[in-house]
Each structure stands twice: as structure tokens, then as C-alpha cells.
Structure 1
Amino acid sequence: MTKMIAESKSEVGRLRRAGLAGITLTVLALGLAACETTPSAPPAPARPQYTSPIASDRLVGRWGLAAYHRPDDATRTENQARAGCSNPYVITAGPNGGVMMYLADDNKLTELVSKQTGNGPVFIGPPDEPAGSQADRQVVRFDGNVLVLKWMDPEVAKRYGTMVYVRCS
């Protein structure tokens, strides 16, 4: 009888250990399953796709730069920009298909894109902002050799004027 009781106690102990192991495995499996069903962070929003008649590679190069505040000064300013080729403003290709230029009051280069919505005006500005936003510049004129840009932010336009870029030879 004692032997039978000892065997029974041994069997109960073995069943308890097996039960604990089963519970532990079940808790682990549920924990892992919860990890699998927890939603991950949403993907970054896609960059807006713009159409524009100005391809980025047409803007890359060395440019003389000048600016005017009065439209009567446009021709004179274009000649000043041409003379500025001795110390050119350099536009390089950006890593994501845009061009590297400076934003207003910023001393670091930022990748900008040429953007247009429908048949509206063409702008150059940050790719993640809508065409015509405050950080953009509107393309007033572009013929491949002369680029005239007007700041969209009125306060910035008042300080910097209309920018005239003339391609350096």
C-alpha cells in the first residue's frame, strides 16, 4: 500500500509538472500571438506626385544670381545675375530626384522639386507640401537659360525680392 501511495504521489507530481509546463507554453504562445496581432506603426505617407514641365536635370548647374523688387528692374537684374557667374549659385541633383537648393533663411541645402497641379502655375519647393505653399517659389519664367522665381511667402518676398538665375557658360 505504501508503495502504491508513493507511486500515486509521484504520478501527481509528474502531472503537476506537466500541467505547469503546458500552462507556461500556453501563456508564451498567447503572448507571441498577441505580438503578431498588435498593429505595427502605419507606413509613412507617400510623397505627393506632381507633374511639371521642368525636369530636375534642367535645373542642375551653375547659375548667376541676383534679385529685384520692382518689375522695372527685371532686365537690369538679369544682367547683374549674368555678371554673378564669377561666384555662381550651384544647383545639384538631390538624392530623391529633386534638386538641392536653399530655402529662405536656411543655411542648409534642402531637396526641392518642381511641382504643378493640373494646368496651374509651376512651383519649386519641398516635395511634401502642396504646390503653392508658403515655402515654395513660383516659376515666373524659365527658358533653360534664365530662371525667374517669386517667393510665395509675402514676408520673404518683401525681403528677398524676385530671384533671377542666369545659367553660367
Structure 2
Amino acid sequence: MFAGSKSHVGATRRAGLLGVAITGLALTLAGCASGPTEPPPPARPQFTSPIPPDRLVGRWGLAAYHRPDDATRTENQARAQCSNPYVITAGTNGGVMMYLADDNKLTEVVSKQVAGGPTYIGPPDDPAGGERDRQVVRFDGNVLVLKWLDPEVARRYGTMVYVRCS
């Protein structure tokens, strides 16, 4: 009888240890699921692209002005620059390749607009109207006028006038 009791006690002990192990594993897994996690990546800004990239791709004469009175004269100067055009090419992610202020490498940019507001051209991961954007002052397919939003950049570079080269 003593031998049988010992076997029964051992089985009970093993069952109890198994229950403790399963409970511990369940709590550990629950702790992993509810513990600190990495934050989700920031949401990409939501905007529409009112100017399709293919309307910007091409060769453009480029000039700039600081005073609005010089806009017409500057447009003619930009047209004269077609002998040494500024070339806008298609980007790999649906935008176009242009230079940002004070950057000597091309960056992919897109046209962007939020809820019927102004149209901007700038990096796709920046919110519409961000400091690296340019506001579209005018675009008719042949003339593109862009104003830098960063006041310090605008002071140095002025309002950019692009005239499509034929």
C-alpha cells in the first residue's frame, strides 16, 4: 500500500508541476503581448497630387525674381535660358527629380495639396506646406512659378520661374 501511495503522490506532484509550468508559460506569453512594443511608424501625410508628374517632366528655362514687378521680365529671361535648360526627370516612386534649396543632389518631390488648399511641390514624406516645400503660384503647363516657403530660403533664391522649352 505504501508503494502505491508513493506512486500516486508522485503523479499528483508531476501534475501540479505541469500545471504551474503551463500557467507560468501563459503568463509569460501574456506579458509579451501586453508589454512595451515599438511604436508604429509615423503615418505618411495624406494629400492629393493635383499636378501629375508627367506634366512636370521635361526641359525648362529657369530664372528667379525678388520683386513681383519683375515677374514678366523674369519669365522672358527664363525662356532665354532654354539653351542651358533645367531638366526635370521622372522619379522612381511616382514623383519628379528636382533640387531642394542648398542641396546639390536631386531629390524626388511630388505635387501635394490638402483639402483644396494651395498646391505645393516638395518631398513626399513632408506635410503639405512644410519648410522644404515650394508653393505653386502659377502653373499652366508651360509656365511654372514656385515660391519657397522657408523665409530665409525665399529671401536668398526669390520666386522661381520655369518656362517649358520647345
Q: Pick the TM interval, shorter chain.
A: 0.7 to 0.9
Percent identity of the aligned residues?
75
State whether structure 2 residue 24 is matched by structure 1 residue 11: no
Please point out which of 130, 136, 139 is paired with 2:136: 139
Please point out which of 17, 26, 45 is paired with 1:20: 17
AA aligned to 1:121 is P
Structure 2 segments unaligned to the other structure (5+ residues): none
1:47 aligns to what? 45
User: CA shift at 1:159, angstroms?
Assistant: 0.7
- RMSD of aligned Cα (Å): 2.8
Secondary structure at the residue paired with 1:110? strand
Measured at CA, do residues 120 and 28 of structure 1 come closer, stay the same or move farther in structure 2, by a change above 3 Å? closer
Residues 121-132 of structure 1: pairs in structure 2 closer than 5 A: 121-132=118-129
1:84 aligns to what? 81
| Residue-by-residue CA offset, 1:86-109 (whole Å, 9 max, x unaligned) | 443232334443333222122333
Please point out which of 32, 35, 51 is paired with 1:35: 32
TM-score (ref. length: structure 2):
0.77
User: CA shift at 1:26, angstroms?
Assistant: 2.0
Measured at CA, do residues 138 and 128 of structure 1 come closer, stay the same or move farther in structure 2, by a change above 3 Å? same
- Aligned partners of 1:30 and 1:157: how far apart in 2? 59
Contact 1:48 1:127 in 2 (8 A): no
- Aligned partners of 1:78 and 1:95: how far apart in 2? 30
1:63 aligns to what? 60
Please point out which of 91, 97, 100 is paired with 1:100: 97
2:110 aligns to what? 113
Contact 1:63 1:85 in 2 (8 A): yes
- Aligned partners of 2:68 and 2:86: how far apart in 1? 22
TM-score (ref. length: structure 1):
0.76
Measured at CA, do residues 117 and 33 of structure 1 come closer, stay the same or move farther in structure 2, by a change above 3 Å? closer
After the TM superposition, which of the residue ranges 13-22 and 75-84 deviates more from structure 2?
75-84
User: CA shift at 1:138, angstroms?
Assistant: 1.9
